[in-house]
């Protein structure tokens, strides 16, 4: 029966786990893992049951109850199970037979034979006890061998020396799987690092008169399996298990840990039969659910019937559509053939009329050609007449011109005489003006005077150019000084703006610190040296790629701290900000301040060459810019000078970097890519390097830096102010020079004005002389021109000769006109004859055209009738083609639908075709019926097909479950009888066992001056049976039930109670040896001393079995017994290699001898 205790797990005591990376199976300090049990019918769930091993084997009924669970037995390389019989992990799943009884699904492991404790041999060892243990290349040991005593063996040693490795060796050496230890799942993991193989050799005491058993388990680092030998002979795990069973060695029951024992009561439960009332409730539920589904199933079936009718209608409609389309096609075909014959008849009847019309058309074209020829000849005659008329008109105009010229000869003579006199008068006047010219100035004198004035003006121009050059330089100097002022002011504004932005960012984070920074900016004069604002304000990272890495080196307090450079300023700053209220900060505000005197610090862990070789870029201190006075804080407090950064993680050798940064023993940090590595070195054992990693987060405080550093350096501000002042002074001098230059420019401008006035006067005098000379030259040219004209007028021909020429020309023109009149008369007569012929041809043309038009009208009438017949035929032909295509399409559609239906429907359709019922209804009737059925289908809600399947499946399950319940009822009555018989057998033995354990438990409490007892807590539900532990630690208390909620004494009292309870169980144990690990951890000295002394008393009795106690430390002045043996673990990488050096036995002997000498001296001094 599983034992359950109501004591809750001890909280907060984790020291006992230092040597155990994991606990053995069945005693882990966590709830036992719940596993689901596969059940095809879903009849219930079970939990893994791992009962506390008891002295008695379960009877047949209990075995059946406890075997309904999966086993996780490990198998060695040879295929034999490594689990011993009788353990929870060796049990197999049980199934339910037809009668409802639980039976094993596979052959169960035979029941382990009950073995009593064998008698003790002469050397004090009980058979099965451990006589010797030898380890080679196992975990922390290169090689070790030790021989425990037959009673209490106390194993002492610091953490990390390999105490718990001995417990692991006992477990693995006796063929237990590595998974039970929780340290590793593979046996190869227990070979010492760097070694290829190792072994565990355990020598067990044989039965009295028989030799000892030497078991060796050989391990390989390259194989997941191991080999076993027994007394030097190869053997299987099964043989080892059987030999252990004969010696009553229970490997699975070696472990008693404080924490796991406290939680055992909550972790253990046992399997039981599923109760009939649960099955009855399940049957009732299933029946109710099926009754709820019946209506849905009926709706589903009705919907299926309608869907079938709809499917049939959807086939019949295309079939009948094809039938109706076929009838329409036949009618269209007959109509098309009839109209085609009519068109052919009309075409043959109209053919003679069209032939005569073609003949008239040819004759009509011939007459038209003849008429056009006559008309062309007539038009040519008229064109010739028109040309003669135009020629006569031209001659008539020429005659008029000659007549007009004869009339104008007298007037022209008068005009010539008048013009001669006029020209002669003008010449006389102009010649007189030329003979008497006006008196003019000398132009050369004027030019000489102008050259003199220009020479004087050139000096003024040179002065003006020199002045303008000086003015340009003055303007450039002024602009340069203005630019200096503007640049300095911009720099100041930029610095002040960046400080303001960072201050506001700090205010959003820590308002008190921001107020302190504002106060500091206004009161720097109160300090002996400069006090630096928080690093987030006065530090910057020029290369933004390193911002995330460098900010990760700071913690929050380091980013917002005020740094002083001397202790006096540190005290003054704290006095204003933290101790007093002079700064006006919020009441209760605490401002972080910092100062440390300068001392020598650890240098960087790597030189520059090593840094580059390992793939790092540089140290963090070289990637940040700050005021010089802040460097001591960044190195002393933040260790930036020891933090290496490598942005490319692929280039950084992390393992080599770990060794490099931790070789001086102090450890350091380094950043590889986006990972911060914090390396430290252990102070024990091999002093191996350990690395803790953390991903970098995006920087939030150093990312906004834009200037060299955000705090305004007073030197920089002073320099900028001095630049502004000097530029303004220079600007004043420049402005004064500009005023002087302006005055000089005004003088030169006045001289320029006087020069222009003089020069303009000379230009005017010169212009008057030139204009007068030009006027005289013009008069001389005009006189010469008039002389030429006068000569031409005087030499002109006489009037009589001109008149004779004109009359002769007029006579010739008259002769030409007479000849043209004669030719014109002849053309008129020829044109009249051609016109008569053309008229005759036109009449003949008109007569033939009239006949042609009459015949065309007759043919048009006949053609209209033919065209109407042809159009009617074409329309009928289109209808025929369309109905034919429609019928073919509907035929194909109907055939595809019929062929796609199942065989049953096709047979039904063939029968309907034979009796003609397929075409009983029209398409409209079928469509109407389809709409009705579709409406009926829409009225029925859609039911999930899974509901019907679920309904049918549940119906079958109900029938099967009803039969199962009937059989189960019979089986339950049988099991109840068996349970009663079984309880009558084991309950008295259980009560006797608990009474014996309670007696020892009470005696243990009496020895420490307290009271305690244990009782059985029965229950109708066997799953709820438990062991009640009642304790009393004070005289004024009564016995109280120990629970997790008991507050008096807390964890201390619960731990002590549990340990004493385990010791009481140990006295009842029948195994050759037992082992506990760090049982004394988490207790005060009084309790630890009491427990130790009680443990020595219990385990050192003459009838006590072998006992192992593992602990890292002991209190001084404890009770020891001559039967106990103390084993000190002296193991580690730094053991001296010189023989004899560091021998612990020799150290102990020397210590004992020193104590004896000291006692002797004390006695001698007292005697003296």
Burial readout 90-111 (b: 16 or more C-beta within 10 A, e: otherwise) = bbbbbebeeebbbebeeebbee
Q: Residues 955-969: what's their mean pLDDT? A: 78
Q: Poorest-confidence range of 322-326, 871-875, 914-918?
A: 914-918
Angstrom distances, CA of residue 574 to CA of 507, 579, 744, 778, 933: 20, 6, 67, 111, 94
* Residue of higher predicted confidence among 1159 and 59: 1159
Confidence of residue 458 (pLDDT cuts 50, 70, 90): confident
pLDDT tens-digit readout, 482-504: 888 887 777 766 666 667 778 88
In the chain, % of residues over pLDDT 70: 81
The pLDDT value recorded for residue 349 is 80
In angstroms, the CA 132 to CA 146 distance is: 6
Q: What is the pLDDT of residue 201?
A: 95
Residue 1026 has pLDDT above 80, yes or no: yes
Report which secondary-structure segment, H or E, holds 955: helix 945-1007
Tokens of 1164: 């001698």
Q: What are phi and psi of 1014, to 5 degrees?
A: -125, 150
> How high is the pLDDT of residue 1135?
66
Structure tokens at 946: 């899974």
Chain Cα centroid distance, residue 542: 29
What pLDDT is recorded for position 116?
A: 55
Least confident of 101-105, 221-225, 1154-1158: 101-105
Tens of pLDDT, residue by residue over 292-328, are 677 777 777 777 778 777 877 777 788 887 877 888 8
Side-chain half-sphere of 253: how many Cα atoms within 13 Å?
A: 23
Q: Which pLDDT score is estimated for 643?
A: 94
Is a pLDDT exceeding 70 seen at residue 549? yes
What average pLDDT is seen over the chain? Answer: 76
CA distances (Å), 331 to each of 324, 883, 893, 963, in order? 11, 10, 22, 73
pLDDT band at residue 148, thresholds of 50, 70 and 90? Answer: very high
pLDDT score of 79: 39
Q: Who's near 855: CB < 8 A, 6+ residues apart?
A: 353, 356, 357, 360
Q: How many CA atoms are closer than 13 Å to the CA of 771, on its beta-carbon side? A: 6
Element at 132 (helix H, strand E): strand 130-138
Would you state the pLDDT for residue 60?
35
**Which pLDDT score, from 0 to 100, does residue 597 have?**
93
Per-residue confidence band for 40, with pLDDT thresholds at 50, 70 and 90: very low
Alpha helices by DSSP H, 916-944: 923-939
Predicted confidence band at 112 (pLDDT cuts at 50, 70, 90)? very low
Q: How confident is the model at residue 1136 (pLDDT cuts 50, 70, 90)?
A: low
Handedness of CA 74, 78, 83, 86 (dihedral sign): positive
- Burial letters 426-460, b for 16+ CB under 10 A, else e: ebeebeeeeeeeeeeeeeeebeebbeeeeeebeeb
Model confidence at 594, in pLDDT bands (50, 70, 90)? very high
For the sheet containing 197-204, what is the strand order? 141-146, 130-138, 197-204, 213-220, 227-230, 233-235
The predicted-structure confidence for 190-225, as pLDDT tens digits, reads as follows: 888 888 899 999 999 888 888 889 999 999 988 888
Q: Please tell me the predicted confidence (pLDDT) of residue 484.
A: 85
Q: What is the mean pLDDT of residues 1140-1145?
A: 68
Query: Per residue in 1100-1122, pLDDT tens?
Result: 888 888 888 888 777 787 888 88
Q: Higher pLDDT residue, 78 or 393?
A: 393
**Could you tell me the strand order of the sheet in which 1011-1017 lies?**
1011-1017, 1026-1032, 1040-1041
List pLDDT tens digits, range 773-826: 888 888 888 888 888 887 877 777 666 777 777 778 888 888 888 888 888 888
Q: How open is the CA angle 941-944-947, to the nearest 5 degrees?
A: 115
The pLDDT of residue 617 is above 50: yes
pLDDT grade for 673, boundaries at 50, 70 and 90? very high
Give the residue from 308, 310, 312, 309 showing the smallest Cα distance to 912.
312
Q: For residue range 1055-1076, list pLDDT tens digits in order.
A: 777 777 777 777 666 678 888 7
What value does the mean pLDDT take over residues 918-933? 78
Query: Would you state the pLDDT for residue 149?
Result: 92
Strand pairing category for 141-146 and 130-138: antiparallel
What HEC string does 767-790 produce?
HHHHHHHHHHHHHHHHHHHHHHHH
Confidence of residue 633 (pLDDT cuts 50, 70, 90): very high
Q: Check residues 550 and 44 and name the one with the higher pLDDT.
A: 550
What span, in angstroms and rounded, lies between the C-alpha atoms of 377 and 372? 9
Helix axes 351-435, 714-794, angle to 10 degrees: 80
Q: Which of 214-228, 374-388, 437-451, 930-944 has the highest mean pLDDT?
A: 214-228
pLDDT for 619 equals 93
Mean pLDDT, range 1122-1132, rounded to an integer = 84
Structure confidence at residue 564 (pLDDT): 95
Lowest mean per-residue pLDDT among 90-104, 420-434, 481-495, 702-716: 90-104
Assign 908 to helix, strand or coil.
Answer: helix
Q: Specify burial of residue 59 (Cβ count, 10 A radius: 0-12, 13-18, 19+).
A: middle
Most confident of 80-94, 110-124, 163-177: 163-177
Strands annotated E in 1106-1166: 1106-1111, 1125-1128
pLDDT given for residue 547 in this prediction: 92
pLDDT band, residue 667 (cuts 50/70/90): confident
Most confident of 227-231, 469-473, 1133-1137: 227-231
Q: Does residue 273 register a pLDDT over 60?
A: no
Q: Mean pLDDT throughout 420-441?
A: 80
């Amino acid at each position: 029966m599983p034992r359950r205790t109501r004591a809750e797990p001890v909280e907060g005591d984790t020291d006992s786990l230092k040597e155990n990376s994991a606990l053995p199976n069945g005693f882990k300090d966590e709830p036992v893992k719940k596993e689901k049990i596969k059940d095809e019918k879903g009849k219930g769930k079970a939990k893994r049951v791992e009962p506390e091993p008891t002295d008695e084997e379960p009877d047949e009924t209990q075995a059946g109850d406890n075997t309904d669970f999966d086993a996780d037995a490990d198998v060695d390389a040879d295929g034999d199970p490594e689990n011993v019989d009788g353990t929870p992990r060796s049990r197999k799943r049980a199934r339910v037979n037809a009668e409802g009884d639980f039976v094993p699904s596979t052959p169960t492991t035979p029941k382990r034979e009950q073995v009593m404790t064998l008698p003790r041999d002469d050397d004090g060892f009980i058979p099965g006890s451990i006589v010797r243990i030898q380890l080679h290349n196992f975990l922390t040991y290169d090689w070790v061998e030790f021989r425990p005593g037959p009673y209490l063996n106390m194993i002492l040693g610091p953490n990390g020396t390999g105490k718990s490795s001995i417990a692991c060796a006992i477990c693995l050496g006796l063929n237990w799987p590595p998974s039970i230890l929780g340290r590793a799942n593979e046996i190869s993991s227990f070979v010492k690092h760097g070694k290829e193989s190792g072994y565990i050799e355990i020598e067990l005491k044989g039965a009295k008169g028989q030799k000892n058993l030497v078991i060796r388990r050989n391990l390989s680092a390259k194989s997941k399996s191991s080999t076993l030998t027994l007394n030097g002979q190869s053997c299987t795990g099964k043989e080892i298990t059987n030999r252990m069973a004969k010696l009553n060695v229970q490997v699975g029951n070696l472990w008693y840990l404080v924490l796991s024992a406290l939680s055992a009561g909550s972790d253990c439960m046992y399997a039981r039969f599923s109760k009939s009332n649960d099955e009855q409730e399940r049957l009732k539920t299933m029946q109710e659910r099926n009754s709820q589904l019946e209506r849905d199933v009926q709706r589903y079936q009705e919907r299926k019937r309608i869907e079938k009718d709809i499917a049939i209608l959807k086939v019949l409609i295309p079939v009948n559509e094809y039938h109706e389309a076929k009838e329409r096609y036949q009618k269209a075909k007959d109509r098309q053939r009839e109209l085609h014959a009519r068109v052919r008849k009309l075409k043959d009847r109209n053919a003679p009329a069209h032939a005569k019309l073609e003949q008239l058309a040819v004759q009509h074209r011939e007459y038209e050609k003849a008429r056009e020829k006559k008309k062309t000849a007539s038009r040519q005659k008229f064109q010739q007449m028109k040309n003669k008329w135009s020629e006569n008109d031209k001659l008539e105009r020429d005659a008029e011109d000659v007549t007009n010229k004869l009339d104008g000869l007298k007037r022209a003579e008068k005009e010539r005489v008048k013009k001669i006199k006029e020209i002669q008068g003008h010449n006389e006047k102009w010649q007189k003006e030329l003979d008497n010219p006006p008196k003019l100035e000398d132009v050369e004198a004027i030019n000489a005077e102008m050259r003199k004035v220009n020479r004087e003006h050139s000096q003024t121009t040179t002065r003006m150019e020199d002045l303008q050059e000086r003015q340009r330089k003055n303007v450039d100097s002024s602009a340069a000084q203005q630019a200096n002022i503007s640049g300095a002011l911009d720099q100041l504004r930029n610095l002040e703006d960046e400080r303001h932005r960072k201050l506001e960012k700090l205010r959003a984070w820590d308002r008190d610190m921001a107020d302190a920074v504002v106060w500091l900016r206004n009161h720097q004069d109160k300090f002996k040296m400069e006090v630096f604002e928080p690093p987030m304000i006065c530090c910057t990272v020029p290369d933004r790629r390193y911002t995330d890495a460098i900010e990760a080196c700071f913690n929050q307090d380091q980013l917002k701290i005020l740094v002083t450079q001397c202790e006096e300023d540190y005290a003054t700053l704290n006095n204003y900000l933290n101790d007093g209220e002079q700064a006006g900060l919020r009441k209760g505000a605490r401002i972080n301040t910092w100062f440390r005197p300068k001392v020598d610090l650890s240098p960087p862990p790597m030189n520059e060459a090593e840094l580059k070789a390992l793939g790092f870029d540089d140290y963090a201190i070289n990637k940040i810019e700050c005021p010089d006075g802040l460097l001591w804080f960044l190195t002393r407090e933040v260790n930036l000078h020891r933090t290496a950064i490598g942005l490319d993680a692929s280039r950084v050798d992390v393992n080599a970097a770990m060794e490099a940064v931790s070789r001086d023993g102090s450890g350091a940090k380094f950043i590889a890519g986006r990972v911060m590595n914090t390396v430290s070195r252990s102070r024990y054992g091999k002093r191996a390097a350990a690395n803790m990693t953390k991903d970098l987060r995006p920087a939030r405080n150093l990312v906004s830096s834009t200037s060299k550093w955000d705090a305004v350096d007073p030197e920089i501000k002073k320099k900028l102010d001095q630049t502004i002042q000097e530029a303004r002074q220079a600007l004043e001098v420049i402005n004064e020079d500009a005023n002087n230059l302006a005055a000089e420019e005004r003088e030169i401008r006045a001289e320029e004005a006087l020069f222009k006035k003089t020069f303009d006067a000379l230009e005017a005098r010169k212009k008057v002389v030139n204009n007068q000379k030009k006027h005289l030259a013009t008069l001389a040219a005009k006189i010469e021109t008039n002389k030429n004209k006068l000569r031409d007028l005087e030499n002109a021909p006489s009037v009589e000769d001109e008149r004779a020429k004109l009359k002769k020309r007029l006579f010739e023109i008259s002769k030409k006109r007479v000849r043209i009149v004669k030719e014109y008369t002849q053309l008129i007569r020829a044109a009249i004859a051609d016109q008569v012929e053309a008229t005759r041809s036109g009449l003949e043309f008109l007569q033939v055209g009239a006949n042609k038009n009459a015949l065309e009208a007759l043919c048009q009438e006949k053609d209209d009738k033919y065209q109407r017949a042809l159009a009617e035929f074409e329309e009928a032909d289109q209808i025929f083609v369309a109905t034919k295509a429609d019928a073919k399409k509907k035929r194909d559609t109907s055939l595809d639908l019929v062929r796609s239906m199942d065989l049953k429907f096709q047979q039904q359709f063939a029968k309907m075709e034979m009796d003609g019922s397929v075409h009983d209804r029209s398409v409209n009737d079928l469509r109407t019926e389809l709409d009705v059925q579709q409406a009926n289908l829409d009225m029925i809600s859609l039911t999930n097909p899974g509901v019907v399947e679920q309904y049918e499946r549940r119906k079958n399950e109900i029938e099967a479950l009803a039969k199962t319940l009937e059989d189960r009822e019979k089986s339950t009555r049988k099991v109840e009888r068996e349970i009663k018989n079984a309880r009558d057998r084991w309950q008295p033995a259980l009560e006797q066992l608990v009474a014996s354990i309670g007696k020892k438990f009470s005696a243990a409490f009496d020895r420490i001056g307290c009271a305690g007892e244990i009782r059985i807590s029965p229950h109708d539900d066997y799953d709820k049976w438990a062991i009640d532990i009642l304790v009393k630690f004070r005289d004024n208390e009564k016995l109280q039930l120990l629970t997790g909620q008991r507050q008096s004494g807390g964890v201390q009292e619960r731990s002590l109670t549990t340990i004493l309870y385990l010791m009481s169980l140990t006295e009842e144990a029948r195994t050759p040896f037992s082992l506990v690990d760090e049982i004394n951890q988490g207790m005060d000295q009084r309790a630890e001393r009491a427990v130790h002394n009680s443990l020595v008393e219990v385990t050192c009795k003459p009838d006590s079995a072998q006992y192992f106690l593992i602990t890292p430390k002991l209190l001084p002045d404890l009770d020891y017994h001559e039967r106990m043996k103390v084993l000190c673990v002296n193991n580690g990488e730094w053991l001296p290699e010189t023989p004899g050096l560091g021998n612990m036995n020799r150290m102990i002997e020397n210590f004992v001898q020193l104590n004896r000498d000291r006692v002797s001296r004390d006695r001698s001094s007292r005697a003296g």
